[in-house]
Amino acid sequence: MVKIINLKSGSECGKELSDEYKQKCKQKFEHIKTEDLNFFSNKNISVKDISDMISGGVRFSYCRFSDGEYLLMFPKYKFVNSYGVVIPGKKTKLGENLHEIISYNNKNFKIGVVMQHLTFLPEMFLNIYKTITQTGTYDPCEIWPTTAHGPFESFVSLLKSTNLKIILVANENTDVNNLCVNIKEFFPIPTQGIDYYENNSEKFKTEIQNIAVNNSNSIFIISAGMLANVVCYEGWKVNKSNWYIDIGSGIHNLKIEEEIK
């Protein structure tokens, strides 16, 4: 029986790697930054940027590739994180689909690469960079070294004041009655989304496509772990009149009691 270790996040993996190896990866990373300036020509995205694009009517889909996505695309570690999500440490359908998603060629399909986990996962950026550049699709994609996290005031204010429909795709345990924004429709995601997707990937894709087609000119707020990337991808492919925004754990910023605090 394979032992499952308890970690708060995938960023705690890789502690067994030597400092020398980590330093070599860092040097490779710095070399790429110097040699491939086009790759780093896009500015970091902020929550305000996202709010401004929505206010300006600029449709887009924004998903995030972080430690969890990386460890599914390049399986090595098996663990359970603080949310109770099991990372299996082997090939999965979701991991395979993430390779497809990160290589998707579309100008307004925006990808954020989270760089803060490089300390314990030094190969993360190098492998993702190799994946993107091998497909030749990184020019139209926008790669940001930060996430959509940050001050949520402008984003929450926009969601409160907008006349656009808001569709929430989030964990099945989310209390939609305790959110400070008006949710038109709620699509629940299982906590063990990786296992669910393994047996229900086509069903899940079809359901996302259906909800995207049936809701135009709507804002999709997505807090669905690694399945958020599938939602952003499948939704955008069938209906580009919407916004699909992966806010990660930013769902907590929409809770009423936390807003009061």
Whether the predicted pLDDT of 71 surpasses 80: yes
The pLDDT-based confidence of 64 (bands split at 50, 70, 90) is confident
Higher-confidence residue of 140 and 90: namely 90
- Tell me which amino acid residue 212 is: A
What average pLDDT does range 107-125 have in this prediction? 82
Mean predicted lDDT score pLDDT of the chain: 85
- Tell me which amino acid residue 173 is: N
Kindly report which listed range (14-23, 226-235, 247-256) carries the lowest average pLDDT score. 247-256
Output the pLDDT for position 261.
Answer: 38
Whether the predicted pLDDT of 80 surpasses 50: yes
Helix pair 124-135, 19-35: axis angle to 10 deg: 40
What average pLDDT does range 187-212 have in this prediction? 96
Output the pLDDT for position 148.
Answer: 47
Q: How many helices (H) and strands (E) does the chain have?
A: 9, 10
Kindly report which listed range (46-55, 86-95, 185-194) carries the lowest average pLDDT score. 46-55
Whether the predicted pLDDT of 150 surpasses 80: no
Q: At a CB cut-off of 8 Å and minimum separation 6, what does 29 contact?
A: 118, 122, 125, 126
pTM of the model: 0.90
Q: Is 120 in a helix, a strand, or coil?
A: coil
The pLDDT-based confidence of 98 (bands split at 50, 70, 90) is very high
Higher-confidence residue of 142 and 108: namely 108
Are 205 and 220 within 8 A, CB to CB?
A: no
Whether the predicted pLDDT of 260 surpasses 50: no
Q: Is 178 in a helix, a strand, or coil?
A: helix
pLDDT per position as a tens digit, 32-58: 888 887 777 665 677 778 888 899 999
The pLDDT-based confidence of 115 (bands split at 50, 70, 90) is confident
CA angle 131, 9, 113 (to 5 degrees): 30
The fraction of the chain above a pLDDT of 70, given in percent, is 89
DSSP string, 41-103: -SPPP-HHHHHHHHHTT---EEEEE-HHHHHHHS----EE-TT--EE-SS--HHHHHHHHHHT
